[in-house]
Amino acid sequence: MTAKLAFPHPPARPDQSPDFSNIVVPLAGSLPVPPLDLEARDARPFAIGLIRVLDDEGRAVGPWADCIGDLSDDDLRLGLRDMLQMRAVDRRMLNAQRQGKTSFYLQCTGEEAIGCGFQRQLEKGDMNFPTYRQQTLLIAADYPLEALMGQLYSNDLDPLQGRQLPIMHSARDYGFFSISGNLGTQYVQAVGWAMACALRGNGKIAAGWIGDGATASNDFHSALLSASVYLPPVVLNVVNNQWAISTYTGVAVGKSETYAARALGYGIPALRVDGNDYLAVAAVSRWAIRRARQGHGPVLIEWFTYRAAAHSTSDDPSAYRPKDEARAWPLGDPVERLKAHLIRRGAWSEERHAQAEAEILDEVRTVQKAVETHGTFVDPKPISPAEIFRGVYADLPDHLRRQRQEMGF
């Protein structure tokens, strides 16, 4: 035998049929709820298993269902509404990009349950350190659509005054840290923020977010190690959507069993969760946030999902994966699954759903039209170029004053 390199490949390419036969989907309700002070050495079943609440018939089953037994029909309808609004915004903004009204957009189709479900379990003052695919956190934090869309259009409603690429939101008052284009960096910053929470004794927590591909970045390790050393109140989320642009998740995970399993080596307990199951998201989020807030230290959650849409408006997934792969995804669609559950509960119907979808789309469209009157890429109402220089530093140093004057402002 001689040494040979391994090069992981996705189960199917564009000319092939989708193949998810390698994915094991355990029965809903099969994993227990561990104690809040769960330690890494006892977390292995949770890190390699899959926590699921909604079964194939849309029933909420098992012990994790019990921990969110207090969620009312209204709470769950709100969750559905969050996801539908997210989907409507995605659809409208994708169109707006195609029409040249904004330069760039990223959808989160198929991943709506994760951010929407997590955010509704946070308290005011907690801080997310999101990636560019957690707009869901803003939607479920009731962030004004005017500000969200203003940022996407870089118009005068943009809280960031045109400085950032569309989708790189920042909303401190809504628990949403400034997004950076540099992957992974925010993961260790979340740990630092959580350390500050503990040092100040303010009772708040931080939540780090990262995708499966970006777990390969140095700062994933930096964050896990730091969290493991200092035990701050942080929830470290990995959104495993199977794809990093064109790169199959196997290239990032290597021979590790799961992303969650990685945390165990750092001494951080971890859970792997059905990311398309809104109830599982709500239950595990509540558990992890409570654990952090009560001082039991960090926890990592791998949200298992599928990136149903293109990576971005600059990407064409048909070049590297089967066109209908999303439809074959064994964990289904988060909106459809919560809808089925609500119908089974007698709290929803096909008619109400269709009506809600139409209403939400109409609301989003109305806001969008209003926001567009403040300027778009095809109909710009420019922000003052002097904005370039404001905020580089707290005060304007002489060299920037000279450059601003050179520009004519």
Partner 1 sequence: MARMTMIEALRSAMDVKLADDPSVIVFGEDVGYFGGVFRCTAGLQAAYGEERVFDTPINESAIVGMAVGMAAQGMRPCVEIQFADYVFPAYDQISQEAARLRHRSNGQFTCPLVVRMPTGGGIFGGQTHSQSPEALFTHVAGLKVVIPSNPYDAKGLLIAAIEDPDPVIFLEPKRLYNGPFNGDHSGKSTPWSAHPAGEVPEGHYAIPLGKAELRRAGRDVTVLAYGTMVHVAEAAVAEAGVDAEIIDLRSLLPLDLDTIRASVEKTGRCVVVHEATRTSGFGGELIAEVQEACFWHLRAPLIRIAGWDAPYPHAQEWDYFPSPARIARALRKVMEE
* Shortest distance, position 175 Cβ to partner 1, whole Å: 12
With CB under 8 A as the contact rule, the residue among 147, 188, 205, 310 that binds partner 1 is 188
Q: Work out how close the CB of 225 gets to partner 1 at its nearest, in angstroms, rounded to a whole number.
A: 5
Contact between 195 and partner 1 by CB under 8 A: the answer reads yes
| Among positions 199, 354, 358, 407, the unique one binding partner 1 when judged by CB under 8 A | 199
What string of DSSP letters covers 4-65?
-------S--TTS----TT---PPTT-S-PPPTT--GGG-HHHHHS-B--B-TTS-B-SHHH
Q: Whose Cβ is closer to partner 1: residue 28's or residue 210's? A: 210
Considering the rule CB under 8 A, would residue 177 count as an interface residue with partner 1?
yes
394 sits near partner 1 (criterion: CB under 8 A): yes
Give the footprint of partner 1 on residues 204-243 (CB under 8 A). Answer: 206, 218-219, 221-223, 225-226, 229
Q: Is 31 left (phi over 0), alpha (psi -120 to 50) or beta?
A: beta
Residue among 170, 163, 174 nearest 126 (CA): 174
In Å, how far from its chain's centre is CA 109? 11
Residue 397 lies near partner 1 (rule: CB under 8 A)? yes
Q: Does 196 bind partner 1 (CB under 8 A)?
A: yes
CA separation for the pair 111, 181 (Å, rounded): 20
Judged by CB under 8 A, which of 4, 41, 255, 399 binds partner 1? 399
The tokens describing 284, both together, are 């595990």
30, 103, 161, 312: which one binds partner 1 (CB under 8 A): 161
Residues 16, 17, 99, 182: which binds partner 1 (CB under 8 A)? 182
| 374 lies in the site for partner 1, by CB under 8 A | no
Neighbouring C-beta atoms of residue 78, cutoff 10 Å? 15
User: Alpha carbon of 333 to those of 29, 154, 274, 278, 322: distances in Å?
Assistant: 19, 32, 11, 10, 17
> Mask 107-136, x = binds partner 1 (CB under 8 A)?
--------------------x-x-------
**How far apart, in Å, are the Cα atoms of 82 and each of 24, 138, 166, 170?**
29, 10, 21, 19
116: β partners: none
Q: Is position 67 an interface residue for partner 1 (rule: CB under 8 A)? A: no
197 binds partner 1 (CB under 8 A): yes
Asked if residue 146 lies in contact with residue 140, where contact means CB atoms within 8 angstroms, the answer is: no
**Number of residues near partner 1 (by CB under 8 A):** 46
Q: Is residue 178 close enough to count as binding partner 1 by CB under 8 A?
A: yes
Distance of CA 339 to the CA centre of its chain: 20
| Residue entry with tokens 């740990």 | 191
In the bound state with partner 1, the residue whose beta carbon lies nearer, of 129 and 348, is 129
Torsion, Cα 100 102 103 105, to 10 degrees, reads -120
Cα 303 from Cα 291, distance rounded (Å): 18
- Answer for which of 68, 191, 263, 342 binds partner 1 (CB under 8 A) is 191
Q: Which of 53, 68, 152, 190 binds partner 1 (CB under 8 A)?
A: 190
Q: How far is the CB of 151 from partner 1 (least distance, A)?
A: 10
Given the complex with partner 1, which of 9 and 172 has the nearer CB atom?
172
> Which one-letter amino acid corresponds to residue 306?
Y
Query: Is position 102 an interface residue for partner 1 (rule: CB under 8 A)?
Result: no
Question: Residues 132, 153, 193, 303: which binds partner 1 (CB under 8 A)?
Answer: 193
Looking at the Cβ atoms of 221 and 374, the one nearer to partner 1 is: 221
Q: How many CB atoms lie within 10 A of CB 77?
A: 16
| Chain residues that interact with partner 1, rule: CB under 8 A | 127, 129, 159-161, 163-164, 168, 170-172, 177-178, 180-182, 185, 187-197, 199-200, 206, 218-219, 221-223, 225-226, 229, 391-394, 397-399
